[in-house]
Structures are given as C-alpha cells and as structure tokens.
Structure 1
Amino acid sequence: MKALLVLDDPRRAQAFVDYLGEAGLHCELTQDDSGNVHIWLVDETRYEEAHREVKRFLAEPLHPRYQEASWKRGDSQVHFADGPQRGLLGDVLRQTGPVNLLVLLACLAIYGLSWLGLPMFGVLSFPAQLSDLLGAQFWRGFTPALMHFSLMHLVFNLFWWWYLGGMVERRLGSGKLLTLLLVAAVLPNVLQFWESGPRFGGLSGVVYALLAYVWLSGRLNPARGIGLPDGMAVFMVVWLVLGFADMLGTPVANMAHLGGAVIGLLQAWLDNRRTLTGRER
C-alpha cells in the first residue's frame, strides 16, 4: 500500500475514500494516536491516477461529489483498517481543541451553578450602563455569552459551538477561534444592549458568527478545509427573519444574532483577501 493523504476529519476522509472506490481506486483508512486519518492506496500501480484525485479533492474538499459517494454506499460509519477504537467521549474530544473545550466547560459550569441557585446572572450579566465597560468591569462585555437560561438553549448553542468552533480550531488554530469568540461576543452584546437593555445572554451571537465565517470561507477558499452546505446559510437567514418577526415563541437576541453574522462574514472576507495578497500563509 502507498500513502495518499492525511486528514484530521474522519468523516471527510471516508467520503473521499468512498468516491475513490467508485472510480475503482480501493483505499484503506488508519488512524494514529493523535486522531489524524491516513488514506492508503491498495494498488500502488494506480498511484498517479489517485494522486490526481487527491489534488482535485484538496482544491474542492466540500464538493457534493464526495458526500454523494457516501450516500450511495449507504453506510454512515467510518471504517479503519486498524488502529485503536475510541468511544463517544474520545470522538467528542478529538473534534475539539483547548479554546473550544474551555468555553464548553465554562458554559456548563455557569449553567450548573445557576441551577443550584447561585446568582450567576448578577455577576456575569451585561452592566446597566455602557460606561461601566470602560472601568473595572470590562469583562462583562464578554461574559453574557457564557450564560444560558434553559437546558434547550444551552444544548443547542453548545452543539453548534463544539461543531463549528472545533472545525475552525482544528483547521485554522486556536488563535483564529479565540479572535472570533471575543469579537463576536463583545460587539454583538453591545448591539443587543442598545436594543433591549442588559437582560440577555447566550452563545448564539458567536454561533452565528461561526456559521457565517465557516460558510463563506468554504465558498471563497475551499482549500482552507472548512465549509458548510448552502442550506445552512439559508437556515441562518430564515432563523434571523423569524426572530425579527417575533415568530419563534420565545425572546430572541436578534441584534446579537445579526451582529454575529455580519462579523463572521466580514472576517471570512478579510481572511480571504489576506490569502490572495500573500499575507496569510
């Protein structure tokens, strides 16, 4: 067997292998201790043909042809030829990073302490006066993003934070995720304060920023290895419209969502410009 490619996303690796299999290029997957997936070509005499497909895949890793190959196969599991087996917890941890995990744990801890009756809202909520952010309580511009007011609110936001934040951190680094987190928490929080006052919270503004950032990055520069289907962008817009139309049946931080989405789109556009001008390597 001959090594073809190493990826950090098992599901994407399996989709590529399924596509190669349809072309008669049989490959196997192995996984190392760090969670990276190695793709091996069984018939070494067809390496040049397979290598051309690798270059095509790297140019368009999110092209529907690869997912369609998996659908035709009718098996959602990732199949490794050898290597250690990992349980659900191992899979979750492998898809995250230090920033992603720290925020997950912080949100869970704050929700748990609130459920036990501790006054977390009074400690972490946005201040009553915007000028307070210029003094010793500047951190309260960020901390409302870590508070959630229901279990459903918490689970929904943390799933998307884990999935999207993990994708960004694995592919682009902890610094990129931390930047998006801070900017997409503070600025949308300020917008939401101007609209509704200080009684709000949740990670959804950051989630909207990540949705927008990952989607547009995949459209502008697929080689970065992140992206989302266009249907997710449609979902984002529809949810925004329903929120502003007050049709969701629950209070929604609409300005935080809108602000986060704009920040994500703008950051993706700026990053793509840096790539094109050679300032981002």
Structure 2
Amino acid sequence: MKLLLVLDDPRRAQAFVDYLAELGLKCELTLDDDHNVSIWLVNESRYQQALAEVKRFLAEPLHPRYQEASWKRGDGQARFSHSPQEAGWLSDVLRQTGPVNMAVLLACLAIYGLSWLGLPMFGLLSFPPRWDLLLGLEFWRAFTPALLHFSLMHLVFNLFWWWYLGGMVERRLGHGKLLTLLLAAAVLPNLLQFWASGPRFGGLSGVVYALLAYVWLSGRLNPRRGIGLPDGMAVFMVVWLVLGFADLLGTPVANMAHLGGALIGLLQAWLDHRPRPAARH
C-alpha cells in the first residue's frame, strides 16, 4: 500500500475515500494516537490517478462530490469511534495545536492584555529606533514586534490563522519546522518593514503570510505531506497584498512585512521540496 494523504478530520477523510471507491480506487484508513487519519492506496498500480484526485481534493475539499459519495454508500458519517473526552470546542482547539503554536498564541494574548491594562508593552517590545541597537543586548527586538497587536480585531484575525495554519504545520511536520518559519518570517520581514516605514509597526501577520504561502505551495508540490490550502486562499493573499500597497484598506498596513513573509513561505516550501542530488560513491 502507498500513503496518499494525512488529514485531521476523520469524516472528511472517509468522504474522500468513499469518492475514490466510486472511481475503483480502493483505500484503507488508519487512525494514529493524535487522531490523524492516514489514507492508504491498496491498488498501487493506479497511484498516479489517485495522486491527481488528491490534488483535486486539496484544491476544493468541501466540494459536494465527496459527501455525495458517502451518502451513496449509505453512510454520511466517518466510520470512527471517539471517546467522550473529545467532545467540545476546547478539545478541538487543543487537539489541533502544539507547544510552539500554543506558546505564541498565549504570548500574544498576554501582551495584548497587559497593554490594555496600561503597561508600556509597545515601548518594551517594539522594533528599536536604530539598526545598531539590534547588535547589542536588545537583539530580541527584531522578533518581538510580531507579538504586538493594536486592536482586538487585529489580534483575533492573526491568532485564528496562526492557530489554524501553525497547528497544521506543527502537527504534520514537527515543532522545528514551525519554529523555523516563525523566526524567519518574523525577523526578516520586520527588518524589511523597518527599512520601509520606521519602527512603529507590529503584528503576527507577516508570519501568517509566510504560513499561508508555505502551506499552499507545499500542498501543490507534495500533497502526501498532508498539508495544503485551496487555490482561492492564494488568490486572497495576493488580492490583500495589492489592496494594502494601494492603500485601499482604510487602515495602516505593514505591507513590506506581508510581502516579506509571503516570499519566505514560498522559498521555504520550494527548498523543502526541491529534488535532492544523487549521492556519489
């Protein structure tokens, strides 16, 4: 058997497998201890056809064709049993995160709360007013502006995407991969934004752009890794960038941080999936 895809939604995995069965592609499901579902192709001779269907599924996972396939087979529910402890939204939130993802989420919430109480968090964590200060004891301020948020909407929007995309990366690819993306997509875009506009900026959106770009391109290049986003999300990312640079969003936007984050995400996805040279003897 060959591994086709790993998903964290058993019901959606079952619907996709039911659809593949209609095409004559027999698959089996396995459920690991983290409740991730692996989809295995039984008839390996049709692997290329199955892989094409995986790419189609990742591009539009909510298409009615998959649920209709389950209904035709007489079962619209995933054929997995769950323990009572899994019920509830809080369990779902915790199940789809990891230590790096959760630590950053809690840090952003704590910093926003302390700012709301009147503590000078911006003065402590913002980008320094001069480049040379980063070469001394305040080097960490190249990263910490990513943890600052200036409104509740700004905070909620960024943290939702950080939780969703960062959790996906951490569960599938490990803590190291998410930490690498976090550091690169915070520090480098922050440097770029300081060059463009000075030190008055903040937010996790540069990192979110990196994750959006990374997950989308990784899903296109290697869907078997179990991460991916519909092409519509890539279009949304580009449109939002254009609106920001055109100053049509009605609020100040760290455009260079967004652009830098997106480029880092695309570059990291390409580096992760480029062909490795053959070893020499």
TM-score interval, normalised by the smaller of the two chains? 0.7 to 0.9
Does residue 34 of structure 1 match 2:34? yes
> Partner of 2:54 in structure 1?
61
Shift of 1:8: 4.7
> Partner of 2:166 in structure 1?
165
Which digits, 9 at most, give the CA deviation of each residue in 1:72-95, with x for residues without a partner? 3699x8634322142111111111
Residue aligned with 2:181, SS: helix
> Partner of 1:43 in structure 2?
none
Task: Identify if the C-alpha distance between structure 1 residues 198 and 10 changes in structure 2 by more than 3 Å, giving closer, same or farther.
Answer: same
Shift of 1:156: 0.6
Q: Which runs of 5+ in 1 are unaligned?
A: 41-46
Which digits, 9 at most, give the CA deviation of each residue in 1:23-57, with x for residues without a partner? 588999785653233779xxxxxx955x6678865
> Partner of 1:228 in structure 2?
229
Task: Identify if the C-alpha distance between structure 1 residues 109 and 261 changes in structure 2 by more than 3 Å, giving closer, same or farther.
Answer: same
Task: Identify if the C-alpha distance between structure 1 residues 5 and 232 changes in structure 2 by more than 3 Å, giving closer, same or farther.
Answer: closer
Task: Identify if the C-alpha distance between structure 1 residues 53 and 66 changes in structure 2 by more than 3 Å, giving closer, same or farther.
Answer: farther
Shift of 1:58: 6.0
Shift of 1:18: 3.6
Residue aligned with 1:63, SS: helix
How many Å separate the matches in 2 of 1:94 and 1:140?
31
> Partner of 1:72 in structure 2?
68
> Partner of 2:99 in structure 1?
98
Task: Identify if the C-alpha distance between structure 1 residues 272 and 38 changes in structure 2 by more than 3 Å, giving closer, same or farther.
Answer: closer
Residue aligned with 2:83, SS: coil
Among all aligned residue pairs of Structure 1 and Structure 2, give the percentage whose two residues are the same amino acid.
Answer: 72
Q: Give me the CA root mean square deviation.
A: 3.1
The farther-off stretch of 64-73 and 257-266 is: 64-73
How many Å separate the matches in 2 of 1:172 and 1:148?
28
How many Å separate the matches in 2 of 1:84 and 1:259?
43
Task: Identify if the C-alpha distance between structure 1 residues 196 and 48 changes in structure 2 by more than 3 Å, giving closer, same or farther.
Answer: closer
How many Å separate the matches in 2 of 1:110 and 1:218?
33
> Partner of 2:123 in structure 1?
122
Task: Identify if the C-alpha distance between structure 1 residues 5 and 184 changes in structure 2 by more than 3 Å, giving closer, same or farther.
Answer: closer
Q: Bigger relative contact order, structure 1 or 2, given CA contacts below 8 A and separation 6+?
A: 2
Residue type at the aligned position of 1:98: P
Does residue 179 of structure 1 match 2:180? yes
Does residue 268 of structure 1 match 2:263? no
Question: Does the CA-based 8 Å contact 1:144-1:201 persist in structure 2?
Answer: yes
Question: Does the CA-based 8 Å contact 1:31-1:83 persist in structure 2?
Answer: no
Question: Does the CA-based 8 Å contact 2:5-2:224 persist in structure 1?
Answer: no
Question: Does the CA-based 8 Å contact 1:30-1:82 persist in structure 2?
Answer: no
The farther-off stretch of 162-171 and 81-90 is: 81-90
How many Å separate the matches in 1 of 2:39 and 2:258?
39
How many Å separate the matches in 1 of 2:182 and 2:51?
27
How many Å separate the matches in 2 of 1:114 and 1:278?
53
Shift of 1:20: 3.9
Question: Does the CA-based 8 Å contact 1:157-1:203 persist in structure 2?
Answer: yes
How many Å separate the matches in 2 of 1:278 and 1:171?
26
Shift of 1:114: 0.9
Question: Does the CA-based 8 Å contact 1:205-1:256 persist in structure 2?
Answer: yes
How many Å separate the matches in 2 of 1:207 and 1:66?
21
Question: Does the CA-based 8 Å contact 2:14-2:79 persist in structure 1?
Answer: no
How many Å separate the matches in 1 of 2:5 and 2:247?
46
Task: Identify if the C-alpha distance between structure 1 residues 70 and 196 changes in structure 2 by more than 3 Å, giving closer, same or farther.
Answer: same
> Partner of 1:139 in structure 2?
140
Task: Identify if the C-alpha distance between structure 1 residues 83 and 71 changes in structure 2 by more than 3 Å, giving closer, same or farther.
Answer: closer
Shift of 1:132: 0.6
TM-score relative to the length of structure 2: 0.83
